[in-house]
Structure 1
Amino acid sequence: MADNDRARQRIITSVFDKRNANADVPESYVAHIKIWEDSGEGQGKKPRYIIISRAADNTGFIHKSKLNTNGSFSVGKTWKLTELRGIQVVSSSSFNITLARTYKWQTDNVVEQTEFVRAIVDLFRSLVDAPLHLVGVDETSTALDRLVAGDWGSEEDAEDAEETAEATMISVEEMLEGYEWASEDTFGRKSARGAADLVEARLLDELMALDKANIHSFLESDDRVNLVVKYLDEALGEVDAMDSLLSSYKIHLNAVGDDISFIQSQRRGLQVQMQNQGMLLSELENLLKTVQVSKEALLTLTQESLEKQTGIQRLEEAATELYKALQASQDTEMAATMERLDEYRTYNAQFCKRIFDYLSIMIVAQSKLILDDNGGISRPKGRGRPIIYNHQGMEIYLGRYAGLLLYLKEMDETVYSKFCAAYFSAASDLHNTQMKGVFSIYAGLLKKTPEEDAEQSFASNHTSARGGAIRRAGTIVRGPVETRTRERGGQAGEEYGAADALGYILDQIAPQIYREGDFIADFLQINDAGLTFADYAGLDSYFRRQAARSAGLGQSTAKLVRGAMDLIFGFLLTELKQWVDLAIARDALQVVGIIACLERFLVDADERGNAFFLQILEKQHLRLKGTFDRHINQQIKMVDETKLTSKKRKGVAHFIKYFPIYVGRVEQQLIGADGLEIRAHVDSAYEKIVHSMFECLKHMATLDGDGEDKGQLNYHVLIVENMHYFVAEISQLETGSVVGFLKQAETIYNENLAAYVRIVLRRPFAKLIEFFEGLERLLKTTAPSEVQKNSHYSKSSLKKVLKEFDGKDVRKHIDVLFRRVEKHFTEAEETTTREESSGIAAGTVMVGVWKACEEELQRMTESFSARIAECYADGGVSMEYTSSDVETAFKRHRLGSSVGH
């Protein structure tokens, strides 16, 4: 109930006080109840508060509000009480209320629900003169409540009130009859104000007189009242005195409590202080023991062997004692307690020098063991591929001293710097000897370029061997596969191309570089780990902090170790450049394979994150890309110079013959290089060279004339010959990079072949062609039925023309045509391959040209026959020869050419 009262108070404050502040008719709170209603589909239920109120003008309202987060209430919807139509109590925790529509509400408390329903029914019946439909509501209890709501006492008097309610109302009516105030007026609230005032005044007088009489009677009935009052006064006085004493005691107790708390806090502080002092004293005693180095440890540092593993462990233990003493000496207060500090520093300097002297000698000795008598290179009998001995044994041997080197790095940076320089020098000599040996061996194993390949180029004074170009173009790409198969067989006396040789060299060099970088990072602690000897020895945090405070190398030493890889492998860039230049000098075209090889190792170096090796390879890669670009420009220059130097204006140009060989030699080096940068670079170079060749061909076959002019005919002959050769050769390479050039060459071939055929057919069939060309022009402006009316194209004119081209004449014309075409393409037949080609035509260029002539003449014959049938249908005129005559004549020469050529 307390919660309900607090909610009622907040409702009155946040709802009615605010509403009444600006309202003309104020409202007063009557009752409220917390209900739960549906939020929507799948949203669950939301809490709301239903409030009923009564206005000063005897109207009622029903408000629906929600509880805000700050504890206040806000009204969301309001109904007038007159809109209420019915109430249905469904269960002890739910009821329905009907206004404009029926609302279904659930409650938390059966008592609150019953009281709220009773309150709203009473309010409705007192304010609204209308029936109310009730279901499940006890109407008897509500009527009784209305009768006894004001003055009829507690629940114990409820039964008596029910029995006397009716009698009371009758008595009231009889009493009021004298004042002319009937019972109808009383319950109807329509009487005059004056009568009510009289009744009220008289009732008050009667009540006051009765109270006075009762009090007087009570006081006079018992004389002991004064005695009781006296005792009560005395008791109150004593209570006041006791209260004063208690207050005084409380003040004194509070003061004593403060003193006790202070004493207890002081005691706890003293206990903590004593504990801390004890622990500090213990730590100081331990520290004093720590900074004292035993004589046995000092003797071990000077005399223990550095060779055996047990000796190294004892040296590390002794060095740890000295290390702790010297680290503690960095603390000013601790240094004052150390009497033998200078002696310790002397022992430290001697021990560091001893480490340096011993390891410097052993590094050189280990290097000599690796080099032995064969320069650190293992090579099978004969001329097999050489293998560089790895340095695993040397790394394991030196790795035992990693802890002592940490000590050296922290305790004597000068000696550590000297040792790093000594190691870098010895390692550089070792790697230099091994890698130079590998470069030298593979320089002797470089495959020599065949003389015929070396002599060929795009220059006009070089020509390829007759008959051999097509074979090489078709088989040269398969060369590396066969070569690698033989290499896997391990045959002695093997020779390698420049790219393969460089790949084998880098296969040996790259692991050495990667492994050396990892080894010096661990052995000399050239990394960002920040490991100290205190960490290595597992010392207390005090010594680790001391070591971390003084960690870090001087500027000169840091510069030395940062350039470790440059100092060890400083020779490699020069050696690699010299070897590559030697390989390119023997065969400039090998630069393509070398670039592809470098790009493969660039990817590997980048994945491993080895910046040093990556930088070396990138320098060579950039340099060789420039070399390749200059090579391509030189080839293009050779092609362009042909425009000025070549006097030959027919046959296949020398650069067209050389290009398939050139592509074959380049592609031989690019097997498996589709994902590399050089692939796109080479494709771009092909495009530049092909463009230059095609432009040069156009320049060589200068077009000087029209119609039957010899210059025009020679132009088409030259282009057809060269494009036929280009397509026949390039199509055998089966290289995807040249597909675009093939299509371009095929287009040029088809265009020029069609033009050549039209020109060469015009001479023997000139009259026939000119007649029907004129007829075609006439048909553009004249209907077919009107053609015969033109004197130039009459039936007689047609017969005159057709008479000159009977079957016998056509065979003669075709014989003449064959001799002429044969003369034009004689050189092409001598120089073009006879092997099967997947290009435009099989065999010689003559085969393709002769076939095109036959197809064109057949097409013309069919076209002429169609025009005759269209324009001279009723004249009984037809061609003097047939398609069979044409086919027979061409077939005779086609069979003869296949035998004679």
Structure 2
Amino acid sequence: MATGRFTFFFTKESPFSQFYPCQFKVDGCTFSCAEQYMMYRKAKLFNDHATAEAILAATKPAKMKALGRQVDGFNDDVWKEHRWEIVHSGNMAKFGQNPELLRTLLDTEGTTLVEAAPNDCIWGIGLAESNPDARDQSKWRGLNLLGQILTRVREDLKPTAVMGSTVADTMLALSKHTFTTDIVTAVLPVKKVEQKKTMRPSLFFVLTKSRSRTGDVTLHLVKKGDKADSYKRKKTWALTDIRHVDGCSAGDLDLELTFADGAKKRWTCFSHRDKQEYAERMQSTVRQVRGCAIKFANFPSNLGGAAKSAGVGGSVGSSGVASSGVQQRRRELQRERGDSFAAKADDGTGKSSDAGGAFDMLSDAESRDLQAFLDSNKESVHNAENFVRRLNEQLRSLELSNIHALISSGAQVTQLTDHVQSARGVVEQLEHRVQGYTGRLQSVAPAIECLADRDKLAKLSAANQLRAAEALERLLAAIRFDESDRRLLREPNFKDRACVPALLKAARQCDSVLAADVPPELRKMAAVKDSTEGLIELKRSFASALVRHLNDIFINYANRRTTARSKSLAFSGHDENKRELLQFSQLMAWLKLNNREMFDELKGRYSRSLSKVYDAEFREVMETVKAILQPLSKDKGKPGALRHAGSNSSLNREGSKRSIGGGGGADSNPADSSSSSTLSSIAATLGSSVATLDNVFEKVLDALEPMVDSEETFCQAFFDLQPSVQQHATLTSSVMSTVSDDGTILSVDSGDQSLTRQEGKQELDELLKQIFSSAVSFLDALASACHLVSAEFSMQMLVRSADRSDRQSGRGRHLGYLYAQLCLRAKQRFDQFIDQMSAEFLEFRANKKSRCGVVAPVLTYEKFASRAGPVFRDSKRLPDLERAHEKLLETLVNLVERVAQEHGKTPPAVVLMENFHRLESIVRSQRMQRLDRMRRDLSDRHKQNRTEYVRNYMGRPLEKLSEFFDGVEQNLSRGVTPDEVGYLQQYSRAELKKIIRDYPAKDVKRNLEQLRKRVEKHLSEEGSLLTAVWHEMQQTLLAQYNQFNRLIAQCYPNANLALEFSDHDLLRFFNDIGSRSSP
């Protein structure tokens, strides 16, 4: 049935079915259907000749298929390699040899052939035509090999059908419109040699014979016009003008003609068959035309011999006709020519009678006499007058001889007449006697005929009775259903476990009876109809009873839940209930195949009942978790708890020493006195707040994991959600074996039983999502409860959930989905933790009455980094931590820059220098490649601000000297020579000598001590940069000292001037001051 872009077929009544009856021949063997050819070739493939003969002898397709499945030495890999070619060749013969079937196949043009076999996933699609998924190719369950092969056969046979119809139509149109006075005997579609691929021919070789002129045969080259049945003659040649026809080669489609003038022309045919048939037709016509000598070359051997004869013996007038070929030529002429031109009847003497008068073929005797006559008159033939005179004399002599013979034979004629008269009398007597015998037999004939009819009817009646008895026996055997099985299905006892296998056996036997191979005409019998309807009703009532019983079990399952469970983090086990249900798993598979609607309804009831059970358990476990975490919530940690308790200033300015999760005491919960002892003991064993949260979190997940895996394993077995129907028995037995004697359900290795069908996997996922509909909400509540106690614990939640999700990846289990949801929610809590910390950093305000130093958010960040590093180490969620570091660092950089601008007591360069140095050290300790860019940026900022600080405060120990030599350098840069500098009043030798006296060694040391005190006042202990800054000031002052000496030597060379302290004095001053100031 064609629907849209698909043509569906399935039953054996369809012409596309392998079972459809039709005859075709392949390699001398006759086959009654394509299935017989397929199974015959299958047996031959594996050298099972006995089975191959049995398949040829079989008359029913079902028997052929059964024999094909019993082939010895069968190898599935070999069969898969050859099955396409075998079925393709069989269908090519089937449709190629049956025009009606080919026409039906070609009518499906534009659609894909689809075998809608619901139980065949190899040759069909595994779906019935009525299934909506059958029209969606992505949802097909089978390969549709037969449909693909039939689609290919249609494309392969299409050119042959098109070409055949083209030649026939062209021949008819030429006869009606173009060659009305001639007879069209052959048409050959051709094309030019240089012309590329062409589907429709436009050039034709047409061979015609004249109706009015005997022996006038002509070859035409005709071109098809634009209008229908419009053809135009391009060229015309008499057959006698052609000397040679060359087929070029056996595998070539070219055809070359050589004409009397030596010209050669070549065309290309469309098929080898057309080329061969046209050459045979042309060669047959050559034999009928006198004076035509055409040679045929490079054609198959059966044409070559005949062509050779045509080319050698075509000229009758010159050398005579070979007598051995005369009869053969006449027979071929009569066989090949079907028109009036060749309609001659052989009278047995070798002569032919021609009503139309074309010409007469010579018999062997005539040929011999003519040859002898010509040999005896060789000389006279060249003298026409003498030859005619001699022939007339011989003719007169023959006439006189005939007359003399007639006169002399008169007596003999009279005697012959008397004998004939006597013979007529004898014949009359015999006729009279025969008439008497005939009259007597006329009365006996009816009685004999009646006896013959009675015997025939008796034999026919006996044969029909025997066949009817055999048919009834087969029918009864096919529809027989034991009464004991009928009683089991009518009154099933599901409570007795021993009866379940018997019920399953009876149900399958009922299916077998309903699926029996009963001919359609027998199914119309009232008894068969009543039996079938009764079994269908019995199946329906049994399915309803099964659904009611299982539904009662589901209700008891939900009500059997413990009403008062202990306050623990473990989930209740349901192994006893599942063991009770698993005994019905094979009956559920039967229900799934026979009544999908009831099966889906029962599955929905189970999911709704179990959803309520698990929802109640999730609520109870959550209440237990909240009760355990209640003592910790009094001291719950906030991001502020990360602040460094020993810093001079903090975010809350209280120097809190609590941990990030708050104190973890073991006090009982006064709100729940009935469980206070239990909760106190659990809290006491878990220790600190973070440890308590981690322990509670892990225990809940450890309890959740076996429960979800056990439920998924049970659903796979009980609801038959397996990869395929064939694997049902294996997987069911495997799941049954996982139930121990005490009812505990063990886990099943998902690697060996992974679902290969996406449909079964989706159905299982949907069922588990319905059963555990409240699991995601429970995990979200668990994450929220832990986050409320300690926001820092979001790090542990993220890492734990991610690790568990990674362990489940690739297994296709529902637990992986739940862990992924938990990981998502843990990530949200972690992001909230980072956002909250960042917001509190931005809200920080420094105390402007005291020096700033390292701000408290930097110390808080340092504590966060030291705690987060071990948690995320070797975790795949490390990129989340890196992004958190980037966000916090950006916030801290902006915060430090703002504090540096706002704080008036501490120089901005000092605030920036100390905090950037501390942040650089923290980032370096994390060893994260992603933070290298920020680490380098912090290092550059720290060095830049340290240099700026040194530059701003270094000029004070030698302030006058620095100003003097700055002026000297400015004059030098303006073009004043070093010798002229000393003559400038402001920079004279006397002025320099006066400034040098102002800086004796003891005053320089005193200035350095004052500089040291100012630096110590600016820098804080947390920054730990005093030594580095002091060392950089030392290097800067030594560089200034060397620069002063260089300028003195350059501009005042003979002035005998020098500073009153040396570089060694400076080094000693810096060391002495640094050692006295160090703690």
Paired residue for 1:293? 481
Paired residue for 1:401, among 584, 598, 609? 584
Code of the aligned partner of 2:949: Y
Paired residue for 2:708, among 488, 513, 537? 513
How many angstroms does 1:585 deviate by? 0.9
Code of the aligned partner of 2:718: F
How many angstroms does 1:586 deviate by? 0.9
Code of the aligned partner of 2:387: I
- Equivalent position SS for 1:570: coil
Partners of 2:562 and 2:620 in 1: how far apart?
A: 11
Paired residue for 2:1063? 883
Paired residue for 1:575? 778
Code of the aligned partner of 2:484: E
Paired residue for 2:1029? 849
Partners of 2:401 and 2:985 in 1: how far apart?
A: 165
Q: Which runs of 5+ in 2 are unaligned?
A: 1-204, 206-218, 221-233, 236-240, 271-297, 299-318, 320-378, 404-461, 661-683, 733-761
How many angstroms does 1:856 deviate by? 1.2
Code of the aligned partner of 1:298: R
Residues 457, 340 of structure 1: alpha-carbon distance in 2 compared, 3 angstrom cutoff: same
Paired residue for 1:716? 909
Is 1:816 aligned with 2:1010?
yes
Code of the aligned partner of 2:542: F
- Equivalent position SS for 1:857: helix
Paired residue for 2:973, among 755, 771, 780? 780
- Equivalent position SS for 2:852: coil
Is 1:752 aligned with 2:945?
yes
Paired residue for 2:641, among 451, 455, 461? 455
Is 1:423 aligned with 2:606?
yes
Contact 1:802 1:880 in 2 (8 A): yes
Task: Count the aligned residue pairs.
Answer: 616
Q: Which runs of 5+ in 1 are unaligned?
A: 1-9, 15-20, 23-27, 37-46, 56-62, 72-107, 109-152, 154-206, 232-273, 378-385, 473-490, 538-558, 703-710, 833-843
- Equivalent position SS for 1:756: helix
How many angstroms does 1:297 deviate by? 0.9
Code of the aligned partner of 1:296: S
Higher mean Cα deviation, 669-678 or 523-532? 523-532
Partners of 1:372 and 1:660 in 2: how far apart?
A: 50
How many angstroms does 1:401 deviate by? 1.9
Code of the aligned partner of 2:1016: E
Paired residue for 2:1072, among 885, 892, 898? 892
Is 1:743 aligned with 2:936?
yes
Partners of 1:355 and 1:209 in 2: how far apart?
A: 114
How many angstroms does 1:750 deviate by? 1.5
Contact 1:591 1:624 in 2 (8 A): yes
How many angstroms does 1:817 deviate by? 1.9
Contact 1:302 1:351 in 2 (8 A): yes
When you count helix as a share of all residues, which structure comes out higher?
1
Is 1:595 aligned with 2:798?
yes
Higher mean Cα deviation, 671-680 or 859-868? 671-680
Residues 325, 788 of structure 1: alpha-carbon distance in 2 compared, 3 angstrom cutoff: same
Code of the aligned partner of 1:805: Y
Paired residue for 1:314? 502
How many angstroms does 1:766 deviate by? 0.7
Partners of 1:698 and 1:536 in 2: how far apart?
A: 72
Residues 444, 892 of structure 1: alpha-carbon distance in 2 compared, 3 angstrom cutoff: farther
Residues 821, 676 of structure 1: alpha-carbon distance in 2 compared, 3 angstrom cutoff: closer
Per-residue CA deviation, residues 88-135 of structure 1 (Å, 9 max, x unaligned), is xxxxxxxxxxxxxxxxxxxx9xxxxxxxxxxxxxxxxxxxxxxxxxxx
Paired residue for 2:1046? 866
Paired residue for 2:898? 696
Per-residue CA deviation, residues 762-814 of structure 1 (Å, 9 max, x unaligned), is 22211111112222222221244343343322333333333333433322322
Higher mean Cα deviation, 520-529 or 880-889? 520-529
Q: Which structure 2 residues correspond to residues 41-190 of structure 1 after superposition, within 5 A? A: 69=268
How many angstroms does 1:857 deviate by? 0.9
Contact 1:858 1:886 in 2 (8 A): yes
Higher mean Cα deviation, 565-574 or 412-421? 412-421
Partners of 1:32 and 1:296 in 2: how far apart?
A: 84
How many angstroms does 1:403 deviate by? 2.6
Q: TM-score normalised to the size of structure 2?
A: 0.47
Is 1:761 aligned with 2:964?
no
Paired residue for 1:355? 546
How many angstroms does 1:368 deviate by? 10
How many angstroms does 1:665 deviate by? 2.9
Partners of 2:471 and 2:887 in 1: how far apart?
A: 79
How many angstroms does 1:452 deviate by? 11
Larger Rg: 1
Partners of 1:790 and 1:277 in 2: how far apart?
A: 152
Residues 287, 859 of structure 1: alpha-carbon distance in 2 compared, 3 angstrom cutoff: farther
Paired residue for 1:250? none
How many angstroms does 1:369 deviate by? 10
RMSD, aligned CA? 6.0
How many angstroms does 1:404 deviate by? 1.4
Paired residue for 2:341? none
How many angstroms does 1:822 deviate by? 2.3
Partners of 1:362 and 1:33 in 2: how far apart?
A: 89
Partners of 1:656 and 1:605 in 2: how far apart?
A: 39
How many angstroms does 1:691 deviate by? 3.4
Per-residue CA deviation, residues 127-183 of structure 1 (Å, 9 max, x unaligned), is xxxxxxxxxxxxxxxxxxxxxxxxxx9xxxxxxxxxxxxxxxxxxxxxxxxxxxxxx
Paired residue for 1:551? none
Paired residue for 2:787, among 580, 584, 603? 584
Residues 454, 668 of structure 1: alpha-carbon distance in 2 compared, 3 angstrom cutoff: farther
Partners of 2:628 and 2:844 in 1: how far apart?
A: 37
How many angstroms does 1:578 deviate by? 2.0
How many angstroms does 1:503 deviate by? 5.3
Code of the aligned partner of 2:1030: W
How many angstroms does 1:757 deviate by? 1.5
Higher mean Cα deviation, 886-895 or 516-525? 516-525
Contact 2:504 2:586 in 1 (8 A): yes
Higher mean Cα deviation, 363-372 or 338-347? 363-372
Contact 1:457 1:655 in 2 (8 A): yes
Partners of 1:893 and 1:682 in 2: how far apart?
A: 44
Paired residue for 1:794, among 975, 985, 988? 988
Is 1:682 aligned with 2:870?
no
Higher mean Cα deviation, 601-610 or 682-691? 601-610
Code of the aligned partner of 1:573: V
Per-residue CA deviation, residues 589-635 of structure 1 (Å, 9 max, x unaligned), is 22233234444555566645567963x66665555555544444433
Partners of 2:1040 and 2:468 in 1: how far apart?
A: 120
How many angstroms does 1:29 deviate by? 13
Contact 2:571 2:617 in 1 (8 A): yes
Code of the aligned partner of 1:455: A
Contact 1:868 1:877 in 2 (8 A): yes
Greater RCO, 1 or 2 (C-alpha within 8 Å, sep 6+): 1
Partners of 1:278 and 1:791 in 2: how far apart?
A: 152
- Equivalent position SS for 1:792: coil
Code of the aligned partner of 2:641: E
How many angstroms does 1:693 deviate by? 2.5
Higher mean Cα deviation, 746-755 or 647-656? 647-656
Code of the aligned partner of 2:652: H
Code of the aligned partner of 1:801: I
Contact 2:588 2:719 in 1 (8 A): yes
Paired residue for 1:671? 873
Paired residue for 2:860? 658
